[in-house]
Every structure is written in structure tokens, then in C-alpha cells.
Amino acid sequence: MQPLYTSQQVRDAEAPLLAAGQGKELMLKAATGLAHVVVRELQSRYGRVYGTRAVALVGSGNNGGDALYALAFLARRGVSCQAVTVAGSAHEEGLAAAVAAGVCVTTEWDSVRDADVVIDGILGTGASGALREPLASQLSDWQNNACDQLCIAVDTPTGVNASTGEVDPHAVRATHTVTFGMLKAGLFVHPGAGFCGHVECVDIGLTSTDAPAGYLHTTASVRGPGEQDHKYSRGVLGVAAGSQQYPGAAVLTSLSAQNTGVGMVRYVGDAAGLVMHSVPEVVTGWGRVQAWVVGPGAPEDELVDEVLDQAYEKCLPAVIDAGALARVSRARDNWVLTPHAGEAQSLCESRGWTVTREEIESAPAHWARRLASELGCCVLIKGARTVISEPDGTLHLTPVGPARLATAGSGDVLAGIMGALMATEQPAGSRSAAVVAANAVLLHHEAAGNRALETAQSILEVARSHREES
Ligand SMILES: NC(=O)C1=CN([C@@H]2O[C@H](COP(=O)(O)OP(=O)(O)OC[C@H]3O[C@@H](n4cnc5c(N)ncnc54)[C@H](OP(=O)(O)O)[C@@H]3O)[C@@H](O)[C@H]2O)[C@@H](O)CC1
Ligand SMILES: Nc1ncnc2c1ncn2[C@@H]1O[C@H](COP(=O)(O)OP(=O)(O)O)[C@@H](O)[C@H]1O
Ligand SMILES: [K+]
């Protein structure tokens, strides 16, 4: 997992280097890394670099400085370069370097639309508040008329908050973002993540001793059974799912758990016959378990309450989904609540917080954090972009999953995968529970089929391919 930081943390990491007089060196490293990406993308899209046209939008700060030094580099490679200064002033040394390399400087935006590549060097980590006029309207005019244009953002797309992922209505939609030194959390949080395109980080020698704001998870793993393991030591998962109205959820949860790999699945609920028919390895009825999944398919309240009490009293890790979410009155830090935005809204409402589903969808990290802090457990808000927060606000993020997961029963499958990992991994606190949850999301993405049943089936092969035998 890769650490993610806020803008302030990055600035704090830069401060001692700047104080030691290394500011120019840092900027040149950043600009060189940026220019290499521009060259690579020009080559990849147009098959040539020489003779292409690059336009950089240049703000008044160091973000613009990066763009100007990169233009100087590109001009020397035979790219026809123009700097559009958008803020009245620009980084002096960067401007001088660009002019010396033959870059044309203007305040007119006419050339932006026809550029082969636009470099967004307006705002980076120094941005604050809403985009000001006339910049905001100029950005909208350009982007409303741009079509499939290569656009490479310097450090962060202008208008995307690099710490929170919140987005200004006039924000730049980049195809690529070249960020410097440390990954910024806002580049991976919805909705900002959707404006960044492909993100890559150029190493400029920054390090931080701060606790990261979050982690990016990109690699799944599944623990295999050890030589000495038996079905009980490997982990038994209790599944309390399904009802007469929604029996299928019980099947999807149990099947995906079994296929992910677990010592045993014990099922309790109203769909035992159907579960047994579909997954004959499942054992029905109460017994000892090492983790619980409770809630998919709206099991009865009495059953849910009994499971929640047992999991709480025994400190068992648990995945709390759908119908069980509203029954949670106390929680352990190794629990993961998995609401979609609508369920998250109900959780908020029951706490007297007024928020719409749309507001949760546009700031899921904020609401996941708030709920996790309030409840004292991990909260995973499902959706096109899934966000996990620990109670202390540390985020756990994954790359975006395939949209074919937007189908009924998909969440039940995720709950089963996560439950199986909980039973075998036995997370003891919120950090390890969040890591398990992120791992489950990655496996879910990889297994995604066109139907939830197909996903639950293909998780067998996906988990096998990631299994590390111990
Ligand atoms: N420091 C280092 O070691 C390194 C830093 N690096 C680079 O520096 C970047 C940070 O540079 P930075 O601190 O100069 O801030 P930056 O993002 O250019 O913006 C400041 C300008 O924006 C303006 N402005 C602010 N908000 C605004 C708004 N809403 N709407 C309109 N304007 C607004 C603000 O105006 P003011 O508020 O002062 O009037 C000010 O003029 C960082 O992202 C990375 O790219 C790399 O080179 C590596 C080494
Ligand atoms: N557009 C999308 N792209 C990627 N993943 C998605 C998308 N829409 C939904 N998902 C994922 O599909 C699952 C849907 O879960 P949920 O809404 O609980 O469905 P159900 O209740 O029918 O099981 C979640 O894991 C969610 O993150
Ligand atoms: K930028």
C-alpha cells in the first residue's frame, strides 16, 4: 500500500529543503520529470515529438514555474511551445528560462484549443478557495469546446483539492497528472480522482515522517492454508443473510465467501435450503465462528441483533451490510460497515445529520470519515468509487472498479469476499480491518462479471491466483 498525504504535509516536507536553498533543484527535478511524461505522451499519441505544439497554462506560483521549465525542455526537443500566463505575473526564473529556449509568451487563450498538448500549470498545492474570475470562465470556455485533448496536469489538476478530492465547478479535466515527491490523497478520492486521468509520481527526494492521510491499495493477496491448518484453525465465517423476500443474497454471500477461501462457512437465516442447494459445503445453524457477515438480504432484526451482540461481546471481526446497518448501536474497531450512499444517508439521518444521497456521492470520503469517527469502526462507502475510513480518519482507497459491478447482488458478493478474508486474517484493530476491506474491494474488482452470480463464481479463480501458501 502506498501512503497518501495532504497538501500541507507535502509543503511541510518541502520546507527544510527550501530552507536549505534547494528550491530550484527541486523545481528542476519536478519539471524534468514532467517534461519526460509530456514527451512520452506526445510520442505515444502522435508518433512524434518534433514539430508538435504544446501550450502551458501558467499561474503565478511555483506550479507555473514547473510548467515553464518543462516548456524550456520541450522547446529544446523541437516542440513549438507557448506559455499562456493567466495571473498577471509568473515565476521569474522559469519565465526567463522559457524565453531563452524560444518559448512564446502571451496572455491570450486562442492557441489553447488547437494545442497537441495542454500543460496545466495554473495551481498546485498553493491553491485556496474557489477559482477566481476571469480564470474560472476562461477554463470553462476552453474545456466546453475541447474534444479529446491531451491535457497533462502539473502536480494536481487546477480546481481539484489535492488533500480532499473536492472539485471546483470549473476544474481542469486532465488526461494525466504528474505529481511530485509524495502522492496526494485528493488525487485518489472521488470526485477529484475522476479529473486526474492517469496519475504518476516523480521522485524529487521528499520524505515525510507524518502519519499519512491515507493509503492507496493496488495489489490483492489471499492467505492460503498452512500445512498444519485444519478447517477450524483456518477460520470459520458466520453468515447471517437473506430472508424470505431476498433469499438470493444469502446464496451470493455464502458462495463468494466459500470461493474466496475459508475453513468453513456457517449459515444462519431463512434461506438455509437454498444456500445448501447452491453451496453444499456450507454448514447451517449456530456454532463457533471467527468472524461474521451480517445483513445482506435483510435478515430478521432479532437474528441481526443476536449476531451483533455476539460479535461485540467476543470482539469478533465483522462485516455489517445492508439490513444490519440500522441495527448497529455499538461497534468494535475491527468491524467494517459497508453502506452504499443511500444507506450511508440513513445512517447519517439516524444521527440527526442532514445530508442528501447526492451530497454523500459527491464527498464520500468526508462522510465515511464522519461516520467512522462517530461509530468507532471502519466505514466503507460503496459506489463507483469506494472509500474506506478508519475511525481516526485515515482513508484506504483503491483504483476505480469496473462499472459492470453496478448490478443487483454485487454488494452481497463483496460482503462474502470480505467476510472470508476477515475469518482467515483475524484483524485485531481498525488498521488491519481496513486493509482486509481494501483487499476485498480489489478482489471484487478483479472478479467482476456481468452478473453478481458470475462474480461470486469467478472469485474462486481470482482468489486462487493471489493465494500465498504459508
Ligand atoms: N515548494 C517546492 O519546493 C516545490 C514546489 N513545486 C511546485 O510548486 C507548487 C506549489 O507552488 P506554490 O506554493 O507557489 O502554489 P501554487 O499552487 O503555484 O499557487 C499559488 C498561486 O495561486 C494563486 N491562487 C491560489 N488560490 C487561487 C484560486 N482559488 N484562484 C486563483 N488563483 C489562486 C495564488 O494567488 P494569491 O492567493 O497569492 O493571490 C498564488 O499566486 C506545487 O504544486 C508544485 O507544482 C515543485 O516545483 C517541487 C518543489
Ligand atoms: N459504476 C460502478 N463502478 C464500479 N463499481 C461499482 C459501480 N456501481 C456499483 N459498484 C460496486 O458494486 C457494488 C454494489 O453494491 P450494493 O449497492 O450494495 O448492491 P446490492 O445491494 O444489490 O448487493 C459495490 O461494491 C459498489 O462499489
Ligand atoms: K496544476
* Nearest ligand to residue 162 Cα: 1
ipTM score here? 0.91
Helix count (H) and strand count (E) of the chain?
Answer: 16, 20
Please list the helix, strand and coil fractions of the chain in percent, rounded to the nearest 5, in that order. Answer: 45, 20, 40
In this predicted structure, what is the pLDDT of residue 192?
93
- Identify the weakest region by mean pLDDT among 89-93, 228-232, 250-254, 430-434: 228-232
Tell me, what CATH number does 188's domain have? 3.40.50.10260
DSSP state of 356: -
Regarding the beta carbon of 445 and ligand 2, being less than 6 Å apart is answered no
Range of the domain at 315: 236-467
Average pLDDT of the segment spanning 261-269? 97
The answer to whether 63 and 126 are in contact (CB under 8 A) is: yes
Q: What cell was used for 428?
A: 485485531
Tell me, what CATH number does 323's domain have? 3.40.1190.20
Identify which has the larger pLDDT, 376 or 206.
376
Interior angle at CA 337, CA 259 and CA 281, nearest 5: 20
Tell whether 222 is covered by a domain. no
> Cis (ω within 30 of 0) for the bond into 247?
no
DSSP strand pairing (176-180 vs 283-284)? unpaired
Residue with cell 476552453: 142
Residue nearest to atom 14 of ligand 2 (CA): 411
* 89 and 205 inside one domain: yes
Average pLDDT of the segment spanning 348-369? 94
| Atom nearest to 321 CA in ligand 2 | 18
Query: For the segment 7-35, what is each residue's pLDDT rounded down to a tens digit?
Result: 999 999 999 999 999 999 999 999 999 99
* 208 and 254 inside one domain: no
Q: Would you say 60 is a known binding-site residue? A: no
Q: What cell was used for 228?
A: 498444519
Estimate to the nearest angstrom the gap between the alpha carbon of 101 and the chain centroid: 39
Residue with cell 439521518: 349
* 136 and 93 inside one domain: yes
In this predicted structure, what is the pLDDT of residue 227?
87
Confidence check: pLDDT of 256 > 80:
yes
| Atom nearest to 409 CA in ligand 2 | 23
How far apart (Å, rounded) are the C-alpha atoms in residues 301 and 270?
12
Tell whether 228 is covered by a domain. no
Query: For the segment 142-194, what is each residue's pLDDT rounded down to a tens digit?
Result: 999 888 999 999 999 999 999 999 999 999 999 999 999 999 999 999 889 99
Query: For the segment 80-99, what is each residue's pLDDT rounded down to a tens digit?
Result: 999 999 998 999 999 999 99
How far apart (Å, rounded) are the C-alpha atoms in residues 142 and 357?
31
- 292-298-299-301 Cα dihedral, nearest 10 degrees: 100
Indicate the number of domains in the chain.
2
In this predicted structure, what is the pLDDT of residue 469?
62
**Predicted structure pTM score:** 0.92
| Ligand 3 center to 62 CA (angstroms) | 10
Regarding the beta carbon of 18 and ligand 1, being less than 6 Å apart is answered yes
